[in-house]
Amino acid sequence: MIGIDAWKQRMPRRDEALPGRERTVLPTQAHHVLGRSLLAADHPGMARIWFGMGCFWGAERKFWSLPGVRSTAAGYAGGYTSNPAYREVCSGMTGHAEVVQVIHDPAQIGLDELLRVFWESHDPTQGMRQGNDIGTQYRSAIYAADVTQLAAAEASARRYQTALDQAGLGAITTEIALAGPFYYAEDEHQQYLSKHPDGYCGLGGTGVSCPVGPVPRI
């Protein structure tokens, strides 16, 4: 987008990013819906993946009700600043996307189903925005825990692009990469729409269904 908000859609360079801090912020409360810990270490044997779909309030709600999802958490990933705060992420000077950590039992819900929900629940063609939410923190992103997840995400993007092409829609701009550090958002942002049912949710999909395929073998 060219105009008054164009600066919000430019990723900062590493040397421009805010410095952050050494102190790690961890959630102090159990999941408001599921009643379980938000910490991955408290779910041994489970898999996890991180999705950016715009504002993480609505994105998190898309996943916590799925059978087989053990826990979800809002947070920040894909940037440079260590242990960023919400206002710093919103400044556009940390490089992070607002993301949801999804911890799931692979025996109960497969990665292909999580990817289907991801693609169908937002518009992955909008670049550094999602609807009226404009800025690098609102970009579409998948951060994979390992190369198997990464290959599955890339394959699903190719399938969904074919479906979008058939519908006459644009090119996917989703960032797909191996995960770097994930930082938990502050307690007030965790399961926000469960705590505030009338709160803001800017998610909106394309209306195009995502073909489901097998997870590639590595």
Residue type for 172, please? I
DSSP-H helix ranges across the chain: 56-64, 86-90, 111-120, 147-166, 192-195
Distant-in-sequence, close-in-space partners of 168: CB < 8 Å, separation ≥ 6: none
- Measured CA to CA, the distance from residue 121 to residue 203 in angstroms comes to 7
- Measured CA to CA, the distance from residue 84 to residue 20 in angstroms comes to 6
The encoded tokens of residue 163 equal 């479906």
Given the residues 55, 90, 201, 210, the one annotated as active site: 55
Q: Answer yes or no: 55 catalytic.
A: yes
- Measured CA to CA, the distance from residue 177 to residue 195 in angstroms comes to 31
First vs last C-alpha separation in the chain: 38
Catalytic residues: 55
